[in-house]
């Protein structure tokens, strides 16, 4: 449908905040999410989340409750329905409860925070009053949820519990991305070159108690640069080093190791050498592609670098090659991309 | 809302515009994969009025369709703008179907009513009711209902939902029902086609009503299908125990499938789940299947080795043989038009169950 010609200050086609917030809240390993709205809002998001889990049969189904607002609640208010749903949530003893509001809840003016404040203090409650499209789009919902869990992390922080090893935190993984775990595995592999590991995935598959490690972070690795404003508000010590994005491309992957080394005060030379050797091995598997005439999107540095390393001839009349969005992460991502390119060629 | 949009999108000659936010539009659009308009309502318009926007989007849709249905979502439904006044003079059908009114079948019914079908007692056709594009068996059921009607010498008529929207102006006086949960059309209902007994009974009623309809060929097909099911299931039972079955989905389909599994496989039906039904107690076999937590409890309590349901239930029963039976069905290609209704629907169900049970044993 064509866009409206009328000037507007809010987006109209950026999806639903509920989807964004739910993509975060549903990823907390022991969390339970209460959706304050009609049952249909919960149903369609569960259905979409299910799709992202299809190739991971071992993964858990996210735990969601809807308070199933109907016509009566729309007219007389839905706070009692939310209170009942929270009682049911508490009875299931989750590690934490997230309360997400919808546009219906926003339109009728329910006060989610006031209702949620009555939950016994033994179970942490994260209120994310995104309000459906009243709160913006998907990204606003995702970021509001990360902020909310950041606040929870500061409540859960135990300053007496020092970590012996540096804590590297992944921030804002795209939880609806099929490759999300593969990306985290790749970062874990890279950190292994430096004898480090991912200390916390904030919040993907993290149990609630583990979120308390966030304030003690020694390094934040953001999924993408756009998460900078989110990271600015996370409860970490001033000056905590930050890497702005997961590495994309050959040199960026090696550069990631240098950046981690610099952030943690480690010598990364040997790690970079090891990764360069690994990349040579990977590229050697695709040596047969050298000389192929290919068409690639222009102005993309990591693609140009990869084409040059493989000896591809970039030609507007060449074979168009698939380039995924988001771009592949690390050397493992490059290897999977090259398998696709080999099939295309 | 999704049920209404799905219903309307099944008709030709009418465009569909969702009056709501892009997030509301995304789900039906991703399911139906059709030309579906949206006003992409903004927060400002929800507060200050959306008339200009709605009219612009509807006029844009009217460039591609002779008529447009505008489906209200929750927030416009609460705000209560006078859409009829705003769209005065345009060939528009308004459907008030905010999500908080109920499930997909409620929206489907509202959409059919909004289209104002007019029954023609002399139409000389038999309608097909209970069809929704949200149903994984929508196309298969349509084809099977049409085939059986023609086999009996009847002329397939108005669909609820589907076909040219103009067909509603001269609607069939009587209909057969593919899936009762979506039965929404006017006129008389001869019955559903879930299971061979229901097929026989429904065509007998049609014949009683209209002497031009001959139920004989349909009865003969039912007899042959019955024999084929018996033979295939006897071969299975000679080697294996009867399945312990859990069946979850739309109530009438669940009942019919249970009868079929008991009849041919002597199945122990340990769990029946109706998505729209009243909650059951642990002592009963019927459960309200709309709550995944309850479904999980029931599946764990009954330990079925065969599950008929949606991808949700498949996910919750990793060790059981699984047959897709209710939406959503995700993660498997569905290209052929498989029915659940009619003679072929029974054959397809029994075949799917035998394949699933055999496959599980091999695994």
Contacts of A12 in chain B (CB under 8 A): 21-22, 40-42
Q: How far apart are CA B168 and CA A227, in angstroms?
A: 53
- Chains A & B: contacts with CB separation below 8 Å: 132
Contact B168, B139 (CB under 8 A): no
Of B37, B39, B74, the CB nearest to A103: B74
Quote the pTM value.
Answer: 0.87
Q: Which CATH class is domain A17-156?
A: alpha beta
Please answer yes or no on whether B79 and A107 come within 8 Å at the CB atom: yes
Contacts of A134 in chain B (CB under 8 A): 43, 46
Q: How far apart are CA B177 and CA B61, in angstroms?
A: 32
Its ipTM equals 0.83
Please answer yes or no on whether B22 and A39 come within 8 Å at the CB atom: no
- What are the tokens at B300? 């764990």
**pLDDT tens-place string over residues B118-137:** 999 999 999 999 999 999 99
Least Cα distance to A268 among A279, A254, A281 occurs for A254
Compute the Cα dihedral for A44, A22, A134, B56 and give only its sign.
negative
Contact B172, B119 (CB under 8 A): yes
- What are the tokens at A20? 């964004």
Please answer yes or no on whether B2 and A44 come within 8 Å at the CB atom: yes
Contacts of A65 in chain B (CB under 8 A): 293
* Phi, psi (deg, nearest 5) at residue B129: -110, 165
Least Cα distance to A57 among B310, B316, B298 occurs for B316
In this structure, the strands spanning A125-128 and A96-101 are: parallel
- What are the tokens at B243? 């399945």
DSSP code of residue B134: T
Q: How far apart are CA B247 and CA B262, in angstroms?
A: 12
pLDDT at A13: 65
CATH topology agreement for domains A17-156 and A168-273: yes
Contacts of A50 in chain B (CB under 8 A): 311-312, 315, 328, 330
Of A9, A41, A137, the CB nearest to B99: A41
pLDDT at A24: 96
For residues B148-172, b (16+ Cβ closer than 10 Å) or e, as one string? bbebbbbebbbbbbbbebebbebbb
Of B1, B43, B312, the CB nearest to A134: B43
CATH superfamily of B225-362: Nitrogenase molybdenum iron protein domain (3.40.50.1980)
Taking only Cα atoms into account, the Rg of chain A, rounded to an integer number of angstroms, comes to 23
Segments of chain B scoring below 50 in pLDDT: 282
**pLDDT tens-place string over residues A87-133:** 999 999 999 999 999 999 999 999 999 999 999 889 999 999 899 99
Q: How far apart are CA A170 and CA A73, in angstroms?
A: 40
Other residues' Cβ atoms within 10 Å of the Cβ of residue B273 = 28
Please answer yes or no on whether B99 and A40 come within 8 Å at the CB atom: yes
- Interior angle at CA A70, CA A66 and CA A75, nearest 5: 130
pLDDT at A62: 86
Of B17, B21, B61, the CB nearest to A132: B21
Please answer yes or no on whether A38 and B37 come within 8 Å at the CB atom: no
- What are the tokens at B324? 């897709």
A250: left (phi over 0), alpha (psi -120 to 50) or beta: alpha
pLDDT at B285: 66
Label residue A93 exposed, middle or buried (CB < 10 Å: 0-12, 13-18, 19+): exposed
Contact B201, B150 (CB under 8 A): no
Contact B361, A82 (CB under 8 A): no
Q: Which CATH class is domain B2-114?
A: alpha beta
Other residues' Cβ atoms within 10 Å of the Cβ of residue A46 = 20
Residue of chain A minimizing CA distance to B55:
A4
Please answer yes or no on whether B1 and A41 come within 8 Å at the CB atom: no
Least Cα distance to A330 among A162, A208, A231, A185 occurs for A185
pLDDT at B292: 79
Contact B296, B287 (CB under 8 A): no
Alpha helices in chain B (DSSP H): 2-9, 22-32, 43-48, 51-62, 74-79, 83-86, 104-114, 138-151, 196-209, 216-239, 251-265, 292-302, 311-316, 342-362
SS3 B9: helix
Compute the Cα dihedral for A311, A317, A320, A325 and give only its sign.
positive
The architecture (CATH level 2) of A168-273 comes to 3-Layer(aba) Sandwich (3.40)
Domain segments of chain A as ranges: 17-156, 168-273, 274-344
- Interior angle at CA B214, CA B211 and CA B220, nearest 5: 155
Q: How far apart are CA B30 and CA B32, in angstroms?
A: 6
Domain segments of chain B as ranges: 2-114, 225-362
Mutation to test the A interface, candidates B23, B28, B310, most A Cβ within 10 Å? B23
In sequence order, which residues have a C-beta less than 8 Å from that of residue B155 and are 6 or more positions away? B124, B125, B126, B149
pLDDT at A163: 67
Contact B323, B360 (CB under 8 A): no
Q: How far apart are CA B254 and CA B192, in angstroms?
A: 13
**How far away is chain B from the Cα of A34, in angstroms, using its nearest Cα?**
13
Q: For chain A (length 345 residues), average pLDDT per consecutive 10?
A: 41 80 96 94 86 75 90 95 95 95 94 94 93 91 96 91 85 92 97 97 96 96 96 96 97 98 97 98 96 92 96 94 92 96 91
**pLDDT tens-place string over residues A262-317:** 999 999 999 999 999 999 999 999 999 999 999 999 889 999 999 999 999 999 99
**How far away is chain A from the Cα of B44, in angstroms, using its nearest Cα?**
8
Residue of chain A minimizing CA distance to B58:
A1
Please answer yes or no on whether B99 and A2 come within 8 Å at the CB atom: no
**How far away is chain A from the Cα of B139, in angstroms, using its nearest Cα?**
21
């Amino acid at each position: 449908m064509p866009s409206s010609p009328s000037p507007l200050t809010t987006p109209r086609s950026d999806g639903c905040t509920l989807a964004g917030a739910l993509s975060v809240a549903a990823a907390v390993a022991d969390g339970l999410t209460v959706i304050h709205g009609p049952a249909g809002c919960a149903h369609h998001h569960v259905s979409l989340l299910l799709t992202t889990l299809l190739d991971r049969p071992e993964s858990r189904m996210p735990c969601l409750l809807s308070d199933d607002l109907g016509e009566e609640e729309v007219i007389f208010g839905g706070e009692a329905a939310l209170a009942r749903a929270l009682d049911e949530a508490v009875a299931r003893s989750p590690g934490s409860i997230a309360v997400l509001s919808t546009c219906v809840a926003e339109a009728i003016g329910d006060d989610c925070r006031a209702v949620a404040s009555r939950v016994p203090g033994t179970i942490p409650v994260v209120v994310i009053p995104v309000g459906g499209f009243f709160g913006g789009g998907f990204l606003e919902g995702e970021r509001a949820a990360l902020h909310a869990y950041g606040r929870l992390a500061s409540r859960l922080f135990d300053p007496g519990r020092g970590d012996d090893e540096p804590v590297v935190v992944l921030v804002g993984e795209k939880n609806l991305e099929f490759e999300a775990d593969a990306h985290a595995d790749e970062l874990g592999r890279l950190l292994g070159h430096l004898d480090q590991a991912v200390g916390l995935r904030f919040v993907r598959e993290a149990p609630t108690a583990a979120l308390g490690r966030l304030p003690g972070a020694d390094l934040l690795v953001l999924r993408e640069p756009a998460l900078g404003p989110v990271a600015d508000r996370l409860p970490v010590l001033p000056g905590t080093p930050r890497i702005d994005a997961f590495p994309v491309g050959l040199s960026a992957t090696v550069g990631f190791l240098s950046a981690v080394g610099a952030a943690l005060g480690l010598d990364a030379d040997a790690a970079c050498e090891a990764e360069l050797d690994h990349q040579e091995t990977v590229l050697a598997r695709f040596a047969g592609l050298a000389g192929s005439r290919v068409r690639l999107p222009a102005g993309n540095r990591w693609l140009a670098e990869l084409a040059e390393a493989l000896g591809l001839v970039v030609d507007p009349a060449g074979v168009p090659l698939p380039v995924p969005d988001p771009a592949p992460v690390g050397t493992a991502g490059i290897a999977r991309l090259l398998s696709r390119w080999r099939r295309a060629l | 809302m999704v049920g209404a949009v799905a219903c309307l999108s099944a008709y030709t000659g009418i465009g569909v515009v969702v009056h709501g936010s892009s997030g509301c539009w995304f789900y039906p659009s991703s399911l139906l994969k059709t030309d579906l308009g949206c006003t992409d309502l903004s927060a400002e318009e929800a507060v200050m009025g959306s008339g200009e926007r709605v009219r612009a989007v509807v006029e844009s849709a009217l460039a591609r369709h002779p008529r447009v249905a505008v489906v209200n979502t929750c927030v416009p439904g609460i705000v209560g703008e006078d859409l009829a006044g705003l769209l005065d003079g345009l060939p528009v059908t308004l459907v008030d179907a905010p999500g908080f009114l109920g499930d997909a079948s409620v929206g489907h019914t509202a959409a059919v009513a909004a289209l104002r079908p007019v029954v023609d007692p002399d139409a000389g056709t038999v309608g097909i009711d209970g069809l929704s594009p949200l149903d994984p068996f929508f196309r298969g059921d349509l084809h099977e209902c049409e085939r059986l009607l023609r086999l009996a010498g009847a002329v397939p008529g108005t669909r609820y939902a589907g076909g040219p929207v103009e067909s509603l102006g001269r609607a069939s006086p009587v209909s057969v029902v593919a899936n009762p949960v979506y039965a929404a059309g006017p006129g008389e209902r001869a019955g559903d086609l879930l299971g061979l007994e229901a097929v026989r009974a429904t065509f007998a009623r049609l014949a009683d009503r209209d002497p031009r309809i001959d139920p004989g060929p349909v009865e003969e097909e039912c007899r042959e299908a019955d024999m084929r099911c018996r033979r295939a299931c006897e071969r299975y039972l000679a080697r294996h125990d009867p399945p312990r079955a859990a069946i979850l989905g739309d109530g009438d389909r669940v009942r019919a499938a249970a009868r079929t599994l008991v009849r041919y496989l002597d199945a122990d039906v340990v769990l029946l789940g109706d998505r729209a039904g009243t909650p059951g107690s642990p002592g009963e076999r019927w459960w309200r299947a709309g709550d995944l937590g309850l479904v999980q409890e029931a599946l764990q309590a009954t330990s079925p080795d065969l599950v008929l349901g949606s991808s949700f239930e498949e996910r919750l029963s990793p060790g059981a043989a699984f047959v897709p039976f209710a939406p959503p069905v995700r993660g498997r290609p569905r290209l052929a038009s498989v029915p659940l209704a009619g003679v072929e629907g029974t054959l397809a169900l029994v075949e799917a169950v035998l394949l699933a049970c055999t496959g599980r044993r091999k695994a």
